[in-house]
Chains A and B, each alone.
Chain A
Amino acid sequence: MKWLLRYSFLLVIAACIVFFSFWNPVFLSAGNQMNILEGSAILLIVALGMTLVVAMGGIDLSVGIALDFGAAFAVVALKEYDAAWYVAILAGIVGGCLIGLLNAVLIVWLNVSAFMATLGTFFIGSSVQRIFTNGGGPISHRRMPQEYRDLAVGDFGGVPTEVLIAGFVLILYFIFLERSILGKRIHAIGLQPTAALIAGVEVKKIIFASFIIAGATCAIGGLIASANIRMFTPLSGFSYLLDAIAAVFIGASMHPRGRPNVMGTLVGVLFLGILANGLNLMGLNFNTKDALSGVILVLALAFAIGQRRLTSLRKGQT
């Protein structure tokens, strides 16, 4: 019974799957399953970065910018500097780190709230991209090295590289956030920063590093995106922001104490992926689809959170 309540969100997902496969049997085909995974890879990577920041008690509105910078740095390195594919990857990650660094400096050194600081970074990063691309024109690079291309289109034994990369990042994040002592400290900071400080946790250093790690993580998403379409499209990262936030909070709603957590985020991302894919197969038009997925998301969240509140009320907590 407890299990059932705790994983009620999985039931919602199961219900969606049953519904979509009745509507269109193609939904269940192996090919479509792989589509869903592939379509979710970048969002998962970005959402993991977001999970880290939210678990630490912050929010990162600039994940899309970090993603853009990752793509831009890599594409420019390839195109303008003829860099080798691995140098381009490094350059991209450095690009993401810079965004994280800007957030970290604003938050830790200048004491700006995470919300305001990352919003500021969002505006600054957007303007920089527009200026740099003369108003937002894409930078395309047709002759991309195959190794770089393979980030998005390659596969190992039939599993697409991007799914493997996302899986690898997922495992790293799981170990980092849920099993390591750094993760313990990050959760403690997220729950009660002064208590963590007094227990001797290096609160500022950890917050500083975490924002940089989050930026670097999102940049990996940018690498995959740019390899896929062989270009850098300015401001394209923005589309991941709200989905990443949604995925983290879906994940948190599944946790017994409402905490953001890596596995929950995975479920959140898959749920969003299934929803988008299923609604697509139903052949709805763009606007209806958007509205519908919003409604389903809110209902599902209300359901999951309501269930949790019920269980805790029964225990007499207020």
Chain B
Amino acid sequence: MTPILDMAGISVTFPGVKALDKAMLTVLPGEVHGLVGENGAGKSTLIKVLAGVYAPDEGVVSLGDEKHISTLTPNLVHTAGVRFIHQELHLVPHFTVAESVFMGQEISGRFGLDKSTMNARTEDFLRETLNADISPRTLIRDLGTAERKLVQISRALIDGRATLVVFDEPTAPLASDEVDRLFAAIGGLKSKGIAMIYVSHYLREITHISDRVTVLRNGKAVKVFNEVSDQITDPMISAMVGREIAEMFPKKENTSNKKLFEARELSGMGFSQVNFDVAAGEVLGIAGLVGSGREELIDTIYGLLPVTSGSMTLKAEAYNPKRPAKAVKAGVALVPRDRRHDGLVLDQPVIDNINLASLEEVSTVLMEKRGVAKNRAEAMANQLDLRPRNVTMIPRLLSGGNQQKVVLGRWLAKGGDLFILDEPTVGVDVGAKVEIYALIRELAAQGSAVIVSSGDPLELLGLSDRIMVLQRGFLAASHDAKDVNVDSLVALTTGGSSGAIE
């Protein structure tokens, strides 16, 4: 079988980094090809070479029967039938589904735009190819994230000329029950004979849907798995990180049980009458589907949303921050779920991002002491094993896991009593995950209270001492982590309904 895509010997160099070093990737017609690797391994760079965004220093890309040596352009790639589903959504909230799908490729009839044809074709495509039932007249802003993802896919594929579709971390913004819908859609594409490249850090997804897998490490394709099953997870991880990972999760050593934070009958936008507490030295996990009030609860504790009734106590004092600055002053830190938008100032150097919450500590009489600031940032970069270890770089150019380390570094530098981490490992590779988990337990061991909110049941089980489950804004359950397993936790979050992936 001639491959539909063959990339061979691809090298790309950025100032100071060899992002790709003679990397290769071969995709056969009609297969789903998983592409995995640590943060910074070069996955996105390889995809961007294919997209014609970066010209490689060396290497050959063959699409079908044509060989292209650094002559790929976005247009040429599009004409060849390659489509990209980027991680970001880029949809206009007040457009309808059909308008979004046909944006830039409208069908015009005799009297301007032919809306009915566009509506009909959108509906057909969504139903027949993606197995989704969405009305083409719905507004984007009324759709959930998974449905928006499907709209984004339809937009790339509606012209029916796609032969190869590239997904770059498509499930990162999705809750576990939404992932199923996306997989159903991918199944639909596959049955139409369309080949796919699937980039993800969720190895369970990779083994679930791929036919073959390529592993990148340090810009090289270190391994290709031609057979995929659950058994390859461990070899895949060791190929990714270049070593064995013995334990994903660190030991839990909960020492104290002095209450540090307490919420009594707390209500806010999207949740009501929630009671819970966290002790110093404890990690509390919060589970819940999208819409369970998990995000709102966290935003309320951090002063981003108002308390409507009930009360909070921090270190035995009444606590009700009206804005994040107050929360920070009281000793609370938030690692937000959307690090690119809320966590980092992407275009300010790493030094400034690490010091942003504690600028007073690197200044005299309000003047920044640049040397001190730099030393502090460098110490943090060493502690967190930031790669590359260059604190003058802007976070925009860092890979996902390293961006997250910068956000963590800011709060480690600042210190705090209550750390709230919202989806701390989305888009983060296994190796960095292990490091971040260790850090979180370390924070607890040093006497902080930690709240981890996550959509990943394994993460919650491995990391937390206790897990509380939110359902439609109410506290549905609260258990010792010892007393639950993945199945029972999923059952608790979904309220017993099935359909969630393991």
- Across chains A and B, the number of contacting residue pairs, with CB separation under 8 Å, is 85
Mask of A141-182 contacts with B, CB within 8 angstroms, 1/0: 000000000000000000000000000000000010001111
Interface-located stretch among B93-101, B141-149, B284-292, B326-334:
B326-334
Contact assessment for A317 and B397 in the assembled complex, using a CB-CB cutoff below 8 Å: yes
Residue of A nearest to B45 (CB): A316
Residue of A nearest to B328 (CB): A200
- Say whether, besides A175-B367, A179-B367, A200-B327, A192 and B341 are in contact (CB < 8 Å): yes
Q: In this assembly, does B368 line the interface, its C-beta being within 8 Å of a C-beta of chain A? A: yes
Per a CB cutoff under 8 Å, which of B15, B53, B324 touches A315? B15
Tell me the chain A residues, 121-150 only, with Cβ under 8 Å from chain B.
none
- Say whether, besides A180-B367, A184-B368, A191 and B336 are in contact (CB < 8 Å): no
Tell me the chain B residues, 279-330 only, with Cβ under 8 Å from chain A.
302, 304, 323-325, 327-329
**Residues of A contacting B474 in the complex (Cβ-Cβ under 8 angstroms):** none
Q: In this assembly, does A195 line the interface, its C-beta being within 8 Å of a C-beta of chain B? A: yes
Considering residues A188, A196, A197, A199, which has the most beta carbons from chain B within 10 angstroms of its beta carbon? A199
A181 to chain B, nearest CB (A): 4
The CA-CA distance from A175 to B367 in the complex, in Å, is: 8
Interface size on A, residues (CB 8 A): 27
Contact assessment for B394 and A191 in the assembled complex, using a CB-CB cutoff below 8 Å: no
The CA-CA distance from A185 to B54 in the complex, in Å, is: 34
- Say whether, besides A200-B325, A202-B325, A188 and B367 are in contact (CB < 8 Å): no
Q: In this assembly, does A198 line the interface, its C-beta being within 8 Å of a C-beta of chain B? A: yes
B146 to chain A, nearest CB (A): 24
Q: In this assembly, does B228 line the interface, its C-beta being within 8 Å of a C-beta of chain A? A: no
Tell me the chain B residues, 335-360 only, with Cβ under 8 Å from chain A.
336, 341-348, 352, 355-357, 359-360
The CA-CA distance from A182 to B367 in the complex, in Å, is: 8
Residue of B nearest to A187 (CB): B348
Contact assessment for B363 and A200 in the assembled complex, using a CB-CB cutoff below 8 Å: no
**Residues of A contacting B405 in the complex (Cβ-Cβ under 8 angstroms):** none
Residue of A nearest to B363 (CB): A181
Contact assessment for B359 and A195 in the assembled complex, using a CB-CB cutoff below 8 Å: no
By size class, the interface of chain B is: 35 or more
A138 to chain B, nearest CB (A): 41
**Residues of A contacting B347 in the complex (Cβ-Cβ under 8 angstroms):** 191-192, 257
Contact assessment for A179 and B368 in the assembled complex, using a CB-CB cutoff below 8 Å: yes
Q: In this assembly, does A201 line the interface, its C-beta being within 8 Å of a C-beta of chain B? A: yes
Contact assessment for B53 and A318 in the assembled complex, using a CB-CB cutoff below 8 Å: yes
**Residues of B contacting A202 in the complex (Cβ-Cβ under 8 angstroms):** 323, 325
Per a CB cutoff under 8 Å, which of A182, A200, A204 touches B357? A200
Q: In this assembly, does A21 line the interface, its C-beta being within 8 Å of a C-beta of chain B? A: no
Q: In this assembly, does B410 line the interface, its C-beta being within 8 Å of a C-beta of chain A? A: yes
**Residues of B contacting A180 in the complex (Cβ-Cβ under 8 angstroms):** 363, 366-368
Q: In this assembly, does A194 line the interface, its C-beta being within 8 Å of a C-beta of chain B? A: yes
**Residues of B contacting A196 in the complex (Cβ-Cβ under 8 angstroms):** 345, 356
**Residues of A contacting B336 in the complex (Cβ-Cβ under 8 angstroms):** 198
B314 to chain A, nearest CB (A): 15
**Residues of A contacting B397 in the complex (Cβ-Cβ under 8 angstroms):** 317
Contact assessment for B359 and A198 in the assembled complex, using a CB-CB cutoff below 8 Å: no
Mask of B72-91 contacts with A, CB within 8 angstroms, 1/0: 00000000000000000000
Residue of B nearest to A189 (CB): B345
A277 to chain B, nearest CB (A): 36
The CA-CA distance from A187 to B394 in the complex, in Å, is: 14
**Residues of A contacting B111 in the complex (Cβ-Cβ under 8 angstroms):** none
A282 to chain B, nearest CB (A): 41
The CA-CA distance from A195 to B368 in the complex, in Å, is: 20
The CA-CA distance from A184 to B345 in the complex, in Å, is: 11
**Residues of B contacting A257 in the complex (Cβ-Cβ under 8 angstroms):** 347, 394
Residue of A nearest to B333 (CB): A200
A186 to chain B, nearest CB (A): 11
**Residues of A contacting B394 in the complex (Cβ-Cβ under 8 angstroms):** 257
The CA-CA distance from A175 to B362 in the complex, in Å, is: 16
Tell me the chain B residues, 355-377 only, with Cβ under 8 Å from chain A.
355-357, 359-360, 362-363, 366-368
* 10 residue pairs bridging A and B, Cβ less than 8 Å apart: A181-B363, A181-B368, A188-B352, A195-B343, A195-B346, A197-B304, A198-B342, A199-B345, A200-B324, A201-B325
7 closest A-B pairs by CB: A200-B328, A181-B359, A199-B356, A202-B325, A192-B345, A199-B357, A181-B363
